[in-house]
Amino acid sequence: MIDWFLDTFGSVGQRVLQSVRRLGYAARFFLLTLAKSGTSFARFGLVVKEIYAAGVLSLVIILVSGLFVGMVLGFQGYNTLARYGSESALGVLVALSLVRELGPVVSALLFAGRAGSAMTAEIGLMKATEQLVAMDMMAVDPVARVVAPRLWGGILSMPLLSAMFSAVGVFGGYLVGVVLIGVDEGSFWSQMQAAVDFREDIVNGVIKSVVFGVAVTAIAVFEGYDAPPTAEGVSRATTRTVVTSSLVILGLDFIMTAFMFRG
Amino acid sequence: MSPLVELTDVAFAYGERPVLSGINMAIPRGKVVAIMGGSGSGKTTLLRLIGGQLRPQAGQVKVADRVVSELRSGDLYRFRRRLGMLLQFGALFTDLSVFDNVAFPLREHTRLPESLIRDLVLMKLHAVGLRGARQLMPAELSGGMARRVALARAVALDPMLILYDEPFTGLDPISLAVIGNLIRRLNDALGATSIVVTHDVHESLAIVDDIYFVSEGRVVAHGTAAQMSDSALPFVRQFVHGEMDGPVPFQYAAPPYGEDLRLGRP
């Protein structure tokens, strides 16, 4: 019994130590990537290419999802508000829900699934097929040339995608609330305009999306660079990117919300 | 003239597992030298030590009179600009065309105008016979073509030393002869020095000047291609003639056969 307890305790301890070591390695890799970001800014075309890959190619899923989330908010919001005779506040509900929470969080989750996984797979495959070694042997630093532009491409794309998600979501809420159900158009927009505060709501939403962008992209590039150079290794790394990013997004969202909107 | 590459008492281990011990080599300038040995004998590790990807635990690796393991990051990258490396399957950048792959080192390390880069790339591609394939993507190339493009990319900056990691693996006889020929011709045309890590005996004997045989992390034989071809050393003979049994046994270590089959027992 004691042996079993010691074995279990030891194996848990080993796992914790491994996780802490990996976290430290990831943090060091992130700082190294930031330190080697000079090339990304000196040759901004490299970052623009990554903004296209991570941002532009994610537009369809972000816009379609934003529209549907906004439309669902329109239905649910109307249903709840109508009970209290406050249907005219539908615009406020839709806008605040999207700008403060759903815009940054859902777009980051979608971004992790669409662009984060693609980044991990691409870097992992470059490693598995020795493209990173070849680059290193050509005296071109793969962290500066491959990883840093992707990191900055992701960081710059995320707030833009989040803003577009929220904008399309508000339009979806308008379509359902005003066009379909018949809420007064004037009160829908005017109450939204009066209630949504630029500093309190919009800026905090943008801060969230920037933090999520850093987190998701940093996780994606690290998992790709650290992936074992095998098909199974790349596949596992891609899965880890999506799972870890999703959990980190939700955890960070809770922490930031607690600080930003604690009243 | 001092050798271009010199390894003195080099030892290396991956963790607890020793891979190389007491390796001494001297690669003369202008020669094509093969490092041969079975799988897992430490050949590729030797190449990585010469290229500065790994650092030896003992001894030193000198290239052009500089100790590679003592070079700091910036100096190591400056050193690698004078180095070309062909990896086992070419390692072409899959998102770039043949032309852009060969142009990659020129664009990264020089400030040459695009018109001049174009001419240089076409000259390198012409040298490997693929000037007409410049627009193709790596996925559209055969294994032999990909290796030739990678070779053009490796020599894009006219290196002093070219490292080849298993350049003949998985090639058909024609591609194999083409790559072998190119290794020799490019080395002589550029006035470079080449180190070819391989276990392809016949192609190597035809193109190289010297051969080092490595087994279990040690150099077990060294000489010219002709000397090695006629060598009476058991390991070299088994390797060159592809004999099934010899110093490298056919049977993996096992208990006596009769005992395993329980012969003589009631």
ipTM of the shown complex: 0.84
Facing residue for A134 by CB, picked from B77, B81, B87? B87
Least confident range from B2-16, B90-104, B241-255: namely: B241-255
Write phi, then psi, for A106 (nearest 5 degrees). -65, -40
pLDDT band at B266 (very low <50, low <70, confident <90, very high): low
Please check whether residue B175 lies inside any domain of the structure. yes
Please check whether residue B265 lies inside any domain of the structure. no
CA dihedral of residues B88, B93, B94, B98 (deg, nearest 10) = -100
Facing residue for B91 by CB, picked from A134, A140, A145? A134
Give the residue carrying structure tokens 């010219």.
B224
CA angle (A187 as vertex; A183, A192 as ends), nearest 5: 110
Best mutation target, A138, A141, A234, to test chain B (most B CBs within 10 A): A138
The domain locations on chain A are 45-255
Cβ–Cβ of A138/B80 closer than 8 Å? yes
Alpha-carbon distance of B69 to B65, in angstroms, equals 12
Bridging pattern class, strands B193-198 and B161-165: parallel
CA dihedral of residues B110, B107, B155, B23 (deg, nearest 10) = 80
pLDDT of residue B238: 81
Tokens of A85: 């005779």
Q: Mean pLDDT over residues B160-172, rounded? A: 88
Whole-angstrom CA distances from B130 to B120, B126, B136, B144 are 13, 6, 10, 11
Q: Helices in chain B by DSSP H: which ranges?
A: 43-51, 73-80, 98-109, 114-127, 143-154, 173-190, 201-207, 225-229, 234-241, 257-260
Supply the CATH number for residue B97's domain.
Answer: 3.40.50.300
pLDDT band at A263 (very low <50, low <70, confident <90, very high): low
Q: Are B73 and B65 in contact (CB under 8 A)?
A: no
Residue type, A201: D
Q: Are B71 and B52 in contact (CB under 8 A)?
A: yes
Q: How many domains does chain B have?
A: 1
Best mutation target, B87, B96, B157, to test chain A (most A CBs within 10 A): B87
pLDDT tens per residue, range A101-153: 999 999 999 999 999 999 999 999 999 999 999 999 999 999 999 999 999 99
Domain carrying residue B21: 5-260
Please check whether residue B188 lies inside any domain of the structure. yes
Facing residue for A131 by CB, picked from B53, B91, B108? B91
For B79, the closest chain A residue by CA position comes to: A139
Facing residue for B91 by CB, picked from A129, A139, A140? A129
Write phi, then psi, for B210 (nearest 5 degrees). -125, 155
Residue type, B252: Y
Burial tier of A154 (Cβ tally within 10 Å: 0-12, 13-18, 19+) = buried
Please check whether residue B120 lies inside any domain of the structure. yes
Smallest CA–CA distance, residue B91 to chain A, in Å, is 5
Tokens of A262: 């604690």
pLDDT over 90 (residue A41): no
**Half-sphere exposure in the Cβ direction for A124 (13 Å, CA):** 27
pLDDT tens per residue, range B77-113: 999 999 999 998 889 999 999 999 999 999 999 999 9
For chain B, list residues whose CB is within 8 angstroms of any CB belonging to chain A.
51, 53, 77-81, 83, 85, 87-89, 91-94, 104-105, 108-109, 150, 153, 163
Coil, helix or strand at residue B218: strand
For A137, the closest chain B residue by CA position comes to: B80
Percent pLDDT > 70 in chain B is: 98
